[in-house]
Structure 1
Amino acid sequence: MYPLIEPHLTDKLKVSDLHTLHYEISGNKEGTPVIFLHGGPGGGCDARDRSFFDPAKYKIVLMDQRGSGKSTPMASLEENTTWDLIKDIEKLREQLSIEKWHVFGGSWGSTLALAYAQSHPDRVKSLVLRGIFTLRKSELRFFYQDGASHLFPEAWEEYVAPIPEAERNDMVLAYHAQLNSADDETRLRAARAWTKWEMATSKLYVDPAQIAQSEKDDFAEAFARIENHYFVNDGFMRDGQLLAEQEIDKIRHIPCVIVQGRYDVVCPATTAYALKKVWPEATLHIVPDAGHSSREAGTSKLLVQATDGFAHL
């Protein structure tokens, strides 16, 4: 990854009567534009996200999605759907007078990148996708109900702890009730447990720094509430919509690199493989010694190689 840099512009974009987004620009002011789409949903951007791109060649745009990061109001679920976010990306593109840009997204960011590209294929120069997530019911069931639980039993025990045993047949729905409780402590306890589950399972080797992130109440509440809101609503999409042949046909001409950790249990490799099967023109790299995180060495190396390769477009 490239060395850390500071943005040369940070600003706000009002996208509705309720929501105002935080965004920043770094790198080369005259460079080829790229937008980084963060995960979660609800995760927000991080300074290290700039480092996937050569700052001499790219005009690097980071945006905190609705309710996330430095965007306001924090953790808001109102007017917060996949299609609202796609409209926001377009508003930001127009605000910055960008005709076409590269799109980079991992995890939920890959979901949003695919949905955006399928909605506006004429605005996308390339796609770099990591840890593919298409929000199918089978994907949610594996991570939040029955799948990853077999690999991380001790973390799973902490995850289910806030939920009464009688309600554990649908963990996403049970968490929905607690994450929207009027009682602050109930809501925050659920938010911390939901977030810790993802942080504990994101890397091949558990990262104590990621676990600590789940204890930060503001981050945990935005991350957990917004994720759960999207998941309980099936991403506001038809099941399997992003993988449908008629949707892939819209983006088949766009150069795409997919980077997937072999041992990713948050977004298992089966989804990346399914995407490759319906989109054989895309390039798929499976990293043999990585989990879900973009920060694992093999994954970050391939992501940077991909952005370097597209910098001339």
Structure 2
Amino acid sequence: MSEPTATRPAALSRDDRNPGEKPGFDVPWGGSIRSSLAGAGRRSRVGFSLIELMVTLIILSVIIVFAIQEYEQHIVAAKAARARNDLEDLAKAVRLYNIREEKPFEIGTFTAQYLGTFVGTYLETAPPLDPWGKPYLHAPELGVIYSCGPNLVDETTNFAGKSDDLVYHYLPADFYVTRAEYVDANRNGQIDMGDEVEISFSRPARMEGVSLFDFRTVNPENAFGSAKVVAPAKGRSLKIFFGPPLPPRIKIGETKIQVFYDIQSVVDFSSPPMPLKSLEDVVIQRKRM
């Protein structure tokens, strides 16, 4: 009698699988390779990987750097705006002083100890320090009021090529004759020997070798006669003194004075120096005493 042989169960065909079961390879622990891989994928996405953390930190670092730079630029811009407002206020006070006073304002540092009665007369209160903690400065020969800026170095009067100074020009950019005033020096009520004409400029000047030939008059011509020029080494005006032998022939309110083109005897303090010129004919008027 033959022994019974074990029979292997027939493999399930594709059609014999449970309805809704997705195709896949069977694995010993149950389920399929597809479902096992899907589960592993879900487990690997829990939390951040090291690379993801590094990328996030790099992005945050870049954002922080840009934010700091933007903040610093905002602070610098705010300080510069405050300095410009201060400079404008100081310039208004200096202009008013120059109009009212006989001599121009020449103090170089805006601190209360140097300004004296300027504070209270032309400035309501003592001038503030600039936003970087230094006094505002004044260069009268250049006609500017300025702050040394963030680097605290005076690069305005040193004619530095590149500068972070904040500069306010309170004088006209051009260098020209602003007025010509007759002075009855001998007080005899006549235009004669001993009298003078004072010629003023828009900016401080350096003067050397100035002569009567640097100027001319219209209505009439050669109205200064044989006068001579007296000019300081630097300043904002010069004087023409009437002397013998030829008397002056000027007419108050009619005679005009002109500067010969491109004279080098009267120049300003800019770099390069600008020669004195006539923007328009200046009529000689009587000086108010």
What TM-score do the two structures reach when normalised by structure 1?
A: 0.25
Which of structures 1 and 2 has the bigger CA Rg? 2
Higher relative contact order (CA 8 A, sep 6+): 1
Judging by fraction of residues, say which structure has more helix.
1
